Structure 1
Amino acid sequence: MAEKADILVVFDCDGTLVDSAHNVIACMRAAFEGAGLPAPQDTEIRRSIGLNPDVAVRMLAGRPLGDGLLEQIVAGYKSAFFQRRLQADHHEPLFPGARETLAALAADKVPMAIATGKSLRGVNAVITQHSLQDYFISLQTPDHNPGKPHPQMLEKAMAAAGTTSARTFMVGDTSFDMMLAKNAGCRGIGVNWGYHDEAELLESGAERLIGRFEELLEIVRSA
């Protein structure tokens, strides 16, 4: 098909490209317990996925945290995740259709990026694990950006692609992703296989909802 170099498709990582909830839950529970605090409920941790770790920890704590305690929990979470990746049985599988959709968009010469609450080290680990090195022109993470829904991650990705917000799709599974898209003036595409339900995605600004990755190709190709 004709090249769509003016279009940019930006993906969230956890809950959109890869299923990492089991790892996030285990590491967040360990971080809170390591700081001498009760572990949050699994359902609440799942709902926090997509936020920067410090924002997620504050939300999950349910009470004010001093800077020292906050830093301890965040550091504990990052350390637990790093150690977990070293385990032989560590697994963050791609959701069905993800690889095929990335390959099809690349074949169509559609630039792609990632905007995520996952650390850059974590994103690179996912990319290496699944051999996705050739797909993304920009990796936007909390390492050098404010967290979602601040628009900076999308603004940087658009600058790298040389495109506009009207031609940029933000594909994600949470209300944080859809609010990010809205704040950046981009088009939010919500996926229903992740960590927030369809009603939340629509209420937070999703233009469309998809139930299969293949539906994204139809949307992009008709843009």
Structure 2
Amino acid sequence: MTSPLRLVIFDVDGTLVDSQADILAAMGFAFEQAGHPLPARETVLGIVGLSLEVAVARLAPELAPDQHLRMVGWYKDAYVELRRKSGAAQSSPLYDGAREVLETLNAIPDVLLGVATGKSRRGLDKLLDAHDLRRFFVTQQVSDHHPSKPHPSMILTALSETGVEARDAVMVGDTGFDMQMAQAAGVAGVGVSWGYHGIEALGEARYVIDSFTQLPAILETMWETAA
């Protein structure tokens, strides 16, 4: 009996790469341009994972929608400039063990890898190219084409593109939005403790890991249990 096809979907910011410095700086620029006080660091990082339009509106609900749109533009401009100055690989470094685990999982014949991120297509492309990660991910879901997390659209589309059943898929992420999205799509969630939301926000996760090196064994345990 052959094993079913599996799909492991990764969040990006706070899961695969640490981009908090650029996120905070770009958001600071957007709020400065708007003449509005920037919320506390933990508040800004608390919206990572949401689509940018939703994130800005949540951080500054008292501002008008047209101002939110301008802030989104200012944020994008600042983020692009920061990335131009230092390069995406340096400004958004991979977390320890990320590449090695991607290599390990990618070498398993019946395992496919994907991405579901609040980044734009342009932003994800720059990051994947900077780290030479594009070859790993057979499905890539970005904010341009989906409602913001935790809506399940990204995961449901990834399942449709790969032909994998929900019971054979796993979402790996650092935010409550990732785990809620996984639950809404009917797939298991694995939370990571090194990201931006903290363990207390990962209540819907089936497992929470403290290092990338733990992920292959956790996945094996989940798949053996489901068999």
- Global fold match (TM > 0.5): yes
Q: Report SS of the residue matched to 1:111.
A: strand
1:151 aligns with 2:149: no
Cα distance between partner residues in 2 of 1:179 and 1:213: 21
State the match for 2:85 in structure 1. 87
Q: Report SS of the residue matched to 1:85.
A: helix
State the match for 2:44 in structure 1. 45
State the match for 1:99 in structure 2. 99
CA offsets per residue over residues 133-181 of structure 1, 9 Å max, x none?
2100111111010010000000011111111111110000000000000
* Unpaired stretches in structure 1, ≥5 consecutive residues: none
Moved more, 28-37 or 97-106: 28-37
Please list, as runs of the form range in 1=range in 2, the aligned pairs for 1:40-189 lying within 5 A after superposition. Answer: 40-61=39-60, 63-88=61-86, 90-109=90-109, 110-189=111-190
Root mean square deviation of aligned Cα: 1.5
Contact 2:4/2:168 (8 A) holds in 1: no
Percent of aligned pairs sharing the same letter? 40
Please list, as runs of the form range in 1=range in 2, the aligned pairs for 1:188-203 lying within 5 A after superposition. Answer: 188-202=189-203
Q: Which amino acid aligns with 1:159?
A: S
Q: Which amino acid aligns with 1:34?
A: Q
Pairwise CA distance, 1:64: 3.2
CA offsets per residue over residues 37-86 of structure 1, 9 Å max, x none?
1222212111111111111111111x333221010001111111111111
State the match for 1:218 in structure 2. 217
Contact 2:174/2:196 (8 A) holds in 1: yes
Q: Report SS of the residue matched to 1:64.
A: coil
Contact 1:175/1:201 (8 A) holds in 2: yes
Please list, as runs of the form range in 1=range in 2, the aligned pairs for 1:16-35 lying within 5 A after superposition. Answer: 16-35=15-34
Q: Which amino acid aligns with 1:97?
A: G
Cα distance between partner residues in 2 of 1:88 and 1:75: 20
Q: Which amino acid aligns with 2:83?
A: R
Q: How many pairs align? A: 219
Runs of 4+ in 1 over 3 A off after TM superposition: 2-5
Cα distance between partner residues in 2 of 1:211 and 1:74: 33
CA offsets per residue over residues 108-143 of structure 1, 9 Å max, x none?
131111101111111111111111121001111110
* Greater fraction helix: 2
Cα distance between partner residues in 1 of 2:37 and 2:200: 30
Cα distance between partner residues in 1 of 2:137 and 2:197: 25
Contact 1:98/1:213 (8 A) holds in 2: yes
Cα distance between partner residues in 1 of 2:212 and 2:220: 13
Contact 1:3/1:108 (8 A) holds in 2: no
Measured at CA, do residues 134 and 66 of structure 1 come closer, stay the same or move farther in structure 2, by a change above 3 Å? same
Cα distance between partner residues in 1 of 2:76 and 2:19: 14
* Unpaired stretches in structure 2, ≥5 consecutive residues: none
